[in-house]
Amino acid sequence: MSDEKSQRPVGASSQCPHSDLHFTLNNSGFGDTNLHYLEITARCKICGADIVWRGVSMGMGPDRPGISPDGKELRLPFLAEGEELTGRPIGFSIRRA
């Protein structure tokens, strides 16, 4: 027997447990590089709240994850196993104070 209330994440709204999230995954690549990004967004299917990612700097680049300015899109750069980065991937990052 499980107690669903104990599984609510810290900081979640008391109105909605956000227990049914819809994740959207998008694979994108730009220009003449083999670098791709996995773009992840999520929304609560119950209350419609967008998920805002935490702990990642704003931006995108080949060396580290980044998030969109509104914090709703997480971008993870990746290559296939064994591949070397080719071309000139675009990228920028903004460090929050």
Closest distance to Zn ion from the beta carbon of 55 (Å): 21
Binding of residue 47 to Zn ion (CB under 5 A):
yes
The SS3 assignment for 4 reads: helix
Query: How far, in Å, CA of 41 to CA of 87, rounded?
Result: 27
Query: How far, in Å, CA of 95 to CA of 93, rounded?
Result: 6
40, 44, 60, 67: which one contacts Zn ion (CB under 5 A)?
A: 44
Binding of residue 46 to Zn ion (CB under 5 A):
yes
Query: How far, in Å, CA of 38 to CA of 23, rounded?
Result: 12
Q: Within 10 Å of residue 79's Cβ, how many Cβ atoms? A: 14
Binding of residue 18 to Zn ion (CB under 5 A):
yes
Closest CB to Zn ion among 35 and 44?
44
Closest CB to Zn ion among 36 and 43?
43
- Interface with Zn ion (CB under 5 A): 16, 18, 44, 46-47, 49
